Amino acid sequence: MADRYNISRTFGNQQVAQDERTRLIRRVFASVAPRYDLMNDLMSMGIHRLWKRRLAWEAAAKPGQVIVDLAGGTGDVAALMAANGVGIMVCDPSLAMMSRGRANKPSEVKWLAGTGERIPLADNSVDTMTIAFGIRNVTSLEAALKEALRVLKPGGRFLCLEFSRPWAPVRPFYDLFSFTVIPRLGAWVARDPEAYTYLVESIRRFPDQREMQRIMEQAGFSSVSYRNLSFGIACLHRGSKPA
């Protein structure tokens, strides 16, 4: 079980050094940035937008709060939370992704370069941190969770939307779609089939619902829970920093 979830030295099915994993993932997102949002629509048939709306609704961002969308990419989740003048900060290591999103996002969305393992923010400074489909791309899951705890205020919330393990009746169809259709879409639309092969493989290596709950609890989060979305294809994980 531990080997399956040790993502720090893997890139898809390859075993690589941690620094090499980081470099390869940066290359993936630089490559797919121009068509990333379009690919998300095609791969999920638009359902990812409903999942992200659920994440934004649970975040319940309020004016005066400090809200950070980690690995926020082109800012689509941040834009959902930036209604009513709420300030949101996107923190992402990919300048290409943020540059792509900056042109058409509300002025309330701010942009900050940083990784999940090294968030350039002060201790106890963030009310709510969200991350959507990005935590499986960090080099160290444990380090990223502890870094989220560091910057959250006591009582602050961490909301993580990520692909997970679908219910058993759905799994064969989901696997067929993932391993045959998605790489072909990557070749046709994004012109980078290898990038989307990696993204599919990274989903398979990521902890399932209960394992992710255990990992968050071990990292120090309290009140950890999760909610399956679309038969478990995606999952919304919740946790708080102890007060």
Domains, the chain: 2-240 (3.40.50.150)
pLDDT single digits (tens) 65-86: 999 999 999 999 999 999 767 8
Q: What is the mean pLDDT of residues 45-52?
A: 89
Give yes or no for a contact between 243 and 154, defined as CB atoms under 8 angstroms apart: yes
Long-range contacts of 215-221 (CB under 8 A, 24+ apart): 215/5, 215/141, 215/142, 215/145, 216/145, 216/158, 219/142, 219/145, 219/146, 219/149, 220/145, 220/146, 220/149, 221/145, 221/149, 221/158
pLDDT single digits (tens) 108-163: 999 999 999 999 999 999 999 999 998 988 888 999 999 999 999 999 999 999 99
C-alpha–C-alpha distance, residues 36 and 176, integer Å: 22
Query: What is the band of 200 on the pLDDT scale with cuts at 50, 70, 90?
Result: confident
